[in-house]
Amino acid sequence: MTTENTPQPTGDIRWHEHAITREDRWAKQNSRGCTLWLTGLSGAGKSTIANAAAHQLFAGGVPVYVLDGDNLRMGLNVDLGFTPEDRAENVRRVSEVAKLMVDAGLIVITALVSPFEADRQRARSIFSDGDFIEVFVDTPVDVCISRDPKGLYKKAKDGQIPNFTGIGQDYEKPSHPELILDGTADTEANTKAILERLL
């Protein structure tokens, strides 16, 4: 699925088939790659849950990597803002990186607000069946505001951050996520739910 704003390869580019398939890599590493796409409001607990789950998996010898939205905006996506168009491009880039890492045999946990259903579905569409698990961290906006770990809600209310999800921009809840986590529950319970879904 693409949009008119999605960059497309030119006719001079061809997909190069590698001698080592992803099935070869998965078998060698005894690990099946997949992406856990954590979505929810800022302050919902996505990064905390992602890191806790990654820690548990890593301790168990599972190759895992967290793609955190803030971290990616310091490098790969430093040129993007928070308009709907930039958010769509942010999701597109992260999903492409995650897909490569899945092919390499990693469990990839993304922690991205990714507020729009169409963008998340577009991300899902580039993965093979079963390789994309959408996880909705369901946390009421008033709880997120009370946490406000980065002070972003206050800045948004003061007009310093336009297009801030939950204040100046809507969040579209996932229609059919594979997993819904209660963002007000303790991190241990949510981590356990993720591991049970994976293992």
pLDDT of 66 higher than 80: yes
User: Average of pLDDT values for 167-176?
Assistant: 92
pLDDT of 11 higher than 80: no
The strand pairing partners of 37, in sequence order, are: 110, 134
User: Taking the model in full, what pTM does it have?
Assistant: 0.89
Confidence of residue 52 (pLDDT cuts 50, 70, 90): very high
Give percent of the chain with pLDDT exceeding 70.
Answer: 94
Q: Which amino acid is at 38?
A: L
pLDDT of residue 30: 81
Active site residues: 114
pLDDT of 69 higher than 80: yes
52-35-25 Cα angle (round to 5): 105
User: Average of pLDDT values for 71-84?
Assistant: 95
> Which of 40, 66, 42, 39 has its CA nearest to residue 52?
66
Query: In terms of pLDDT, which residue wins out, 24 or 183?
Result: 183
Residue 50: is it exposed, middle or buried by C-beta count within 10 angstroms (0-12/13-18/19+)?
buried
pLDDT of residue 1: 37
Confidence of residue 16 (pLDDT cuts 50, 70, 90): confident
Query: In terms of pLDDT, which residue wins out, 100 or 23?
Result: 100
Confidence of residue 7 (pLDDT cuts 50, 70, 90): low
pLDDT of residue 6: 59
pLDDT of residue 9: 63
pLDDT of 192 higher than 80: yes
Three-state SS annotation for the chain = CCCCCCCCCCCCCCCCCCCCCHHHHHHHHCCCCEEEEEECCCCCCHHHHHHHHHHHHHHCCCCEEEEEHHHHCCCCCCCCCCCHHHHHHHHHHHHHHHHHHHHCCCEEEEECCCCCHHHHHHHHHCCCCCCEEEEEEECCHHHHHHHCCCCHHHHHHCCCCCCCECCCECCCCCCCCCEEEECCCCHHHHHHHHHHHHC
**Mean confidence (pLDDT) of the chain:** 91
pLDDT of residue 107: 96
> Which of 31, 50, 51 has its CA nearest to residue 104?
31
